[in-house]
Structure 1
Amino acid sequence: MTDLAATRSLLGDLIAIPTISADSNLEMIAMLASYLGDQGAEVEIQTDDSGKKANLLARIGPDEPGGILLSGHSDVVPVEDQAWTGDPFGMWEDDGKLFGRGTCDMKGFIAAATAMAPRFAANDLRRPVHFAFTHDEEVGCLGARNLTEILKGRETLPSIAIIGEPTEMRIIEGHKGCCEYTTRFTGFEGHGSRPELGVNAVEYAVRYVSRLLDLREHLRHRAPPGSLFEPPWSTINIGRLTGGHVHNVIPGRAEVDWEMRPVNDGDMDFVNDNLRTFIARTLLPEMKRVFPDADITTEVIGEVVGLEPMDSNTARDLVAYLTGANGTDLVSFSTEAGLFQQLGMSAVICGPGSIAQAHKPDEFIELDQLDQCLTMLHKLADQLAA
């Protein structure tokens, strides 16, 4: 069986396991662990607190620092209310394309990397190759955040991380972070004719949103010199504001969903520190003067750091050699790459398929893209054995 045929077969098996983020991924992780274990890989499964999700970390080659990490997320987005022309969890082929939920985002890369395990194992590697397959990337990179916390302090960390998100095999060396929050306001209800006797949660939520919009304007002037992002500054978006019931009742509850896309960690700290001060010094004291139990809380839905472009990037240089590419790009979507960069690894994003197909009905990956990915991994196997 050729590497492409093995990849196609394995991808069909992975697509058949509906690892939507709301559901367990344990069956998929167990399948990959068995496959890699059969090739002699050292396999570690890290289960989350719920016991229903897990990361897989595996290694082929010597237990030494300086290896290469191949990383992908196991979860996929839902298919409800999408007009698929076939079974999203029953992969089918048409005109050189493989269709199914997760084919490009990002089980195609996982299948290619795993199908290459026999080649890696047979090559008597002088430097190790690591596999990291995570859970819950689509809902805040939860698995990768757990994984990187566990990896902190380990002496045999890889030095390079290749995250196989769908980039059409282009080298991506940077993206913004993605931070998502829900801020909740607890006020004190009362009759609308006496607003001074209540604490209007919606009014305080509006003032909070106004501060967010002010901060958004400040961020425009904090763009790093020479920033290549579009737009070049960090951004804030207000996604939802809800609260209240009827015209004549002082609303006691309100919620704001908002997100920030920071260019750098400094902007994330700038915004969050400013909001904490605004709440502590202005909003909460005013609310508590009327109702001592008034409160404002912020739930962190996800805080994912960006991948910061670096002048010196050994991962970029390696993947350029492996693929023959002579240029790099930045992207607007976020990935787990920045988390590995924070561990001290040199990181890039490069994988088969197009992000334009991700999350859509009839998601697909072209067989030619998988073939290009396998060519890159073949050269990597030779490089690690040299």
Structure 2
Amino acid sequence: MDQNPDHEACPPPRESRDWLARLVGFDSVSRHGNLALIEEIETALGALASSPGQPLCFERIENDEGTKSNLLVRVGPDLPGGVVLSGHTDVVPVDGQPWSSDPFELTERDGRLYGRGSCDMKGFIACCLGQLEYWRGLELKHPLYLALSYDEEIGCLGAPRMIERLAAKPHPPHLAIIGEPTMMRPVTRQKGITVLRTRVTGLEAHSSQIPSGVSAVHVAARLISRIETIMHELSEERACDEAYNVPYSTLHVGKVEGGTAINIMARECVFDWEVRHLPEQGFKTIFERFDRFARSLEFELRERAPTVSIDTETVVATVPGLRAEADNPALAFLAPLLRDETPQGAVAFATEAGQFQQAGFSAIVCGPGDIAQAHQPDEFIAVEQLAACDALMRRLGEALCR
């Protein structure tokens, strides 16, 4: 336990700040890949592993094309009871955002460290990497794992391969801490998310001859209206969780494209939408409400135009939510290290925590920074948040010596 009650007011160790500057310097937007960043970390790990201390092992777990990679690191003995510290290395684009400074160069102003990913979530990764040397000098009785993933921002695509590798180990770790920005408050629940694309195929006709055709745009409008109605129904039903700031599952249409000219009944209309579902409710039961309406509407329209179709595909497979655990080992382990913090409860944004839980790990979300800064121009993490995370990382290492 850290004996300095004012640790949050202290500046972060130079190591984590330096690491953050190095990590922000890589344009690891998902469309570009993350291999250069992974190589930078591997080089540092290789140099550190050659010095005395606890065992330090690492391995890549790549995508099929070899263009992106997870990095799995173990510090300490290969024994049961380990803890995973999970973070994603990819960031969202900066295109069109009015940044006040170079988004890929860490800039400090007024106690804030600006740069793309500084908050989401290279700040957490920097704190982990900055503590490696300290952890290697401890008498660890249980290992620490760093699980650095790719493509979290476009659907949590990279983590499952790494989680599968962890679960298959002879001595799999005990629990996982996902360091998404929560202002260092533990989060024990999160919504899941599924991203969908619905394509409506109608029948073209002159717009003055409405009975002769079926407008795909009009059909899409009816479907979109039904999507909103389903969300209102969910908000009025008992399947709500007041721990979330939006206590019900939500549905949202974010993009619509269709039609060719004002005087042509549209042959095609496509819209992209999402379902953010409470973990206890799940995606399937919500989608079935939409699908029943879509099938009924399609049947009705085919009586007039047999070629009409309504097809929905999954664009991003369901990222599972994080369910509340009655006996939460991750919270029981972490809470004493967080001093007087109490569980924040639940967040609406998706993380890799549900994927860890689905694989059998006890999982919790807790990391530095404010999610309100994520994906924004002039994204930043407060210096005091970085310092608080550094202090937690030290106490966490000490806890694994017991």
Tell me the TM-score normalized by structure 1. Answer: 0.91
- Selected match of 1:348 from 358, 364, 383: 364
Q: Tell me the SS of whatever aligns to 1:250.
A: coil
Q: Please, what is the CA RMSD of the aligned residues?
A: 2.5
Residue 221 of structure 1 deviates from its aligned partner by 4.2
1:198 aligns with 2:196: no
- Selected match of 1:362 from 378, 391, 401: 378
Which residue is equivalent to 1:22? Answer: 31
* Superposed counterparts of 1:155-194, under 5 Å: 155-194=170-209
Residue 3 of structure 1 deviates from its aligned partner by 7.5
Residue 4 of structure 1 deviates from its aligned partner by 0.9
Between 15-24 and 121-130, the greater mean CA deviation after superposition: 121-130
| Structure 2 unpaired stretches of 5+ | 1-10, 50-54
Residue 292 of structure 1 deviates from its aligned partner by 4.0
In structure 2, relative to structure 1, the CA distance for the partners of 1:34 and 1:27 (3 Å cut) is same
Determine the C-alpha separation between the residues in 1 that align with 2:274 and 2:165.
Answer: 27
* Count of residues in correspondence between the two structures: 385
* Superposed counterparts of 1:67-106, under 5 Å: 67-106=82-121
* Superposed counterparts of 1:165-314, under 5 Å: 165-224=180-239, 227-280=242-295, 282-283=297-298, 286-287=301-302, 290-292=305-307, 294-314=309-329
1:337 aligns with 2:350: no
Residue 101 of structure 1 deviates from its aligned partner by 1.4
Residue 134 of structure 1 deviates from its aligned partner by 0.9
Q: Which amino acid aligns with 2:373?
A: Q
Does the 8 Å contact 2:58/2:71 carry over to 1? yes
Residue 63 of structure 1 deviates from its aligned partner by 2.6
- Selected match of 1:4 from 13, 22, 28: 13
Which residue is equivalent to 2:44? Answer: 35
Does the 8 Å contact 1:139/1:302 carry over to 2? no
Determine the C-alpha separation between the residues in 2 that align with 1:168 and 1:297.
Answer: 38
Residue 199 of structure 1 deviates from its aligned partner by 3.7
Determine the C-alpha separation between the residues in 2 that align with 1:152 and 1:200.
Answer: 50
Does the 8 Å contact 2:240/2:248 carry over to 1? no
Q: Tell me the SS of whatever aligns to 2:31.
A: coil
- Selected match of 2:342 from 294, 318, 327: 327
In structure 2, relative to structure 1, the CA distance for the partners of 1:267 and 1:349 (3 Å cut) is closer
Q: Which amino acid aligns with 2:360?
A: G
Residue 162 of structure 1 deviates from its aligned partner by 0.8
| Structure 1 unpaired stretches of 5+ | none
Determine the C-alpha separation between the residues in 2 that align with 1:361 and 1:134.
Answer: 23
Residue 279 of structure 1 deviates from its aligned partner by 3.7
* Superposed counterparts of 1:56-135, under 5 Å: 56-135=71-150
Q: Tell me the SS of whatever aligns to 1:229.
A: coil
Q: Return the structure number with greater helix share.
A: 1
Residue 20 of structure 1 deviates from its aligned partner by 1.1
In structure 2, relative to structure 1, the CA distance for the partners of 1:237 and 1:3 (3 Å cut) is closer
Q: Which amino acid aligns with 1:23?
A: H
Q: Which amino acid aligns with 1:101?
A: R
Q: Which amino acid aligns with 2:17?
A: R
Q: Which amino acid aligns with 1:372?
A: A
Q: Which amino acid aligns with 1:24?
A: G
Q: Tell me the SS of whatever aligns to 1:105.
A: coil
Which residue is equivalent to 1:375? Answer: 391
Residue 285 of structure 1 deviates from its aligned partner by 7.1
Q: What percentage of residue pairs aligned between the two structures are identical?
A: 38
Does the 8 Å contact 1:187/1:287 carry over to 2? no
1:231-277: CA deviation from partner (whole Å, max 9, x where unpaired): 32211122233321323312111012222221125341112233334
